[in-house]
Amino acid sequence: MKLRLVLWLLGLMLKRARRGNRRFRETLDELRHLDWGIATEDLSIARHYRMTPDAIESAPGLPVDLDLELRFRDADAALSILRKPTQRAFLDGMMDGRVRLVGDSRDLTKLQKLLRHLR
């Protein structure tokens, strides 16, 4: 339940940053679009985000056409990494099997660049 709430709040934070943060909008303009999602490995908890300079949409589930997916071993692993989403935390999580990246690692770098502007 806690992870579902965190992922829903992340959607709100992304939308708020798009409206009020000039640097976030500029970075999003450079990316043009990024469709990504977060889920547990068993897909019991999943949410995706479709981001363009015009709008950010967030919905439950994990469609097959996403650019990037972050799959976490379980909800506890997801919460521990998402609390401090640094590049080092993701690398450590991938090394010990707590997180799996589905997609291009360059998209993860783009996402991290964008998420730096969230407050």
34 forms beta bridges with 51
The one-letter amino acid at 103:
G
Tell me the whole-structure pTM to 2 decimals: 0.90
Grouping H, G, I as helix, E, B as strand and the rest as coil, residue 87 is: helix
Tens digits of residue pLDDT in 30-47: 999 999 999 999 999 999
Per-residue DSSP letters for 3-63?
A: HHHHHHHHHHHHHHHHHH-HHHHHHHHHH--EEEEEEETTSSSEEEEEE-SS-EEEEES--
Structural domains in the chain plus CATH codes: 2-115 (3.30.1050.10)
Tens digits of residue pLDDT in 81-114: 888 877 788 889 999 999 999 999 899 889 888 8
